[in-house]
Each structure stands twice: as C-alpha cells, then as structure tokens.
Amino acid sequence: MSKSFRTIALIGKYQSPDVAEAVLRIAGFLREHGLVVWIEQGTASSIGTAGDYAVASYEEIGVGADLAVVLGGDGTMLNTARRLSQHEVPLVGINQGRLGFLTDIARNDALVKLGEILDGRYSEESRAMLDAEVLRAGQRVFQTLALNDVVVNKGDLGRMIEFDLSIDGEYVYTQRSDGMILATPTGSTAYALSANGPILHPTVGGVALVPLCPHALTARPVTLPDTCRIEIVLLPPHDATIHFDGQTRFDARAGDRVVVTRSPNVVRLLHPEGYSYFAMLRQKMHWSAVPRLP
C-alpha cells in the first residue's frame, strides 16, 4: 500500500441500506491492509453503526484524513466536495447510485479498484468550482460554493422572470426566460445538458451560460472564460429561486444581484489507472460506435 494514504475517511449516502453494507465492507478491507479508518459522523448515524471505527466530522476529515472515499451517487460527491474542497483532501467515488459521472468506480469493482489506488496506481485531476454570492442593496446576504452549477430560475412562479446579465462589469443583455444555468465543466453534463448546453471537457477553463426556455429564440448558450465575473440582476417585480448544485437554495428578491466567479478552491478527484473521460461519456451517454463502411 502507498505510504501517501494512511488515514482513510468513508462517506456514504444517507439513509441507504446498500451503502451501509458497502461502508462496513470497505472499512474492513482497509483495516486488513493496516490503514486507519474513519467514518463520517452523518454516515455513521445513518447506517446505525460504526462498529469500532472512529467517527469524524467533515472538519476533522478535512484536517486529518489523507483520502476520502465517497459511496453513493453524484449528489453525495457534490456535497462532500463542497465541504472538503478548502482542505484539498483527494476524493474517490464509488457509484452506489444510478448515473455516476463523478462516482466512476462501479460497486462490484470497488475493492479491486480501491486497492489499485491505494497502491499508487491512479490518475488525479482537479475540478474547478464556482464562488457564488447574492448582494442585496450592496450587502452580501448569501454565499456558497458550487461544483456543478448555479441556477437562477422562476421557482414556483408560473411565469417568466426578467434579469440583466453583465460580464466583467459590461452589460450584455436583458433576458426574459425561466432562468439561467451557470455551469462548470463538471456541471456541463448535469442540468445544463438537459437544457441543450455544451459538454465541456474538465480541463477547459470555462463556464457555460445556458438560458432556460428563453422568450427570445436568439438567446443561445455561451461559454465564457472562467476568469470572468458574471452578474445577474433580477428586475422588478420578479423574485426568483437560486439553486447551488441542486442541493442548496436561496430565495432571491427583485433587485438582488447574483455574482459568480471561479473559486480559488478546487476538487481533487482520483481515478483508477486507465480512466478515460471519453470512455465514461460513451458509457453514461449511451454513445455507440458507428459501423464503418466497407
């Protein structure tokens, strides 16, 4: 086993019987290899037992763990990534969910692939995050991080909202629509994809702006450099709901300013040897090879 990883934290999807069994099975595997195992406290509470393994908070994991193994779907990985990104703890995802763009290790291969990573046979990549804040009368009223996307939408209203879009202080346009998705390359295969946004390779330094059902058919997705400062101002009388990775929500008022920039934090993902982004896309997107003509 690699000396780089001595203390391993296990983080699982809450309220999932399948994850409970998998957490304890992997914990046993790691202990057999002489590693220190921590189970995240919410995970331990959810599965009903941590056995005789140490229970740790996210803050303790951030400070003391060498690696975090995330068992669940992409939602579990998104939550973990936001909470640990400032500590730069590398993450490994084991897919216990349905799709799994981020949790790329299949549950049936978990022990084998995890063993390879612990032996030092892995590739690492960094994923960019967004720093988002909401300003009201010039004062910050909300701030958070997002790995996938920031979505401004009409919420429960049955009508469109209207907002001004500015980039680096320059007015771009006023849009009437159901809202706007601001997606990282990671989030380009999430909600933005279903709204006909572009797929961005994880190494692209960009943010995709994807309108939601715009009133003007000329409103098209645009990819911006991730060095940009993106601002959306809600125009009266429209309120809106802002979602961050589909997990955190803020109810914004008319006149509020949503400011999005690239975060200095990054998410470190470890993949088994041989991982390919395009192979993952072929599998998840059900792309098939076209037979060649004779």
* 13-34 tens-digit pLDDT: 877 777 888 999 999 999 999 9
Q: What spatial distance separates the first Cα and last Cα of the chain, rounded to whole Å? A: 49
- By the 8 A CB rule, do 182 and 208 touch? yes
Confidence category of residue 288, pLDDT binned at 50, 70, 90: confident
pLDDT per residue over 142-195, tens digit each?
Answer: 999 999 999 999 987 778 999 999 999 999 999 999 999 999 999 999 999 999
Question: pTM higher than 0.85 for the full model?
Answer: yes
Q: Can you tell me the mean pLDDT for 41-46?
A: 90
Q: Which of 65, 72, 82 is nearest to 104 (CA)?
A: 72
pLDDT per residue over 267-281, tens digit each?
Answer: 999 999 999 999 999
* Greater pLDDT, 233 or 98: 233
- By the 8 A CB rule, do 210 and 197 touch? yes
Question: How is residue 269 written in tokens?
Answer: 């993902």
Residues designated catalytic: 74
Provide the pLDDT for residue 145.
Answer: 98
DSSP state of 178: S
Return the half-sphere exposure (C-beta side, CA atoms, 13 A cut-off) of residue 177: 24
pLDDT per residue over 120-136, tens digit each?
Answer: 999 999 999 999 999 99
- By the 8 A CB rule, do 270 and 117 touch? yes
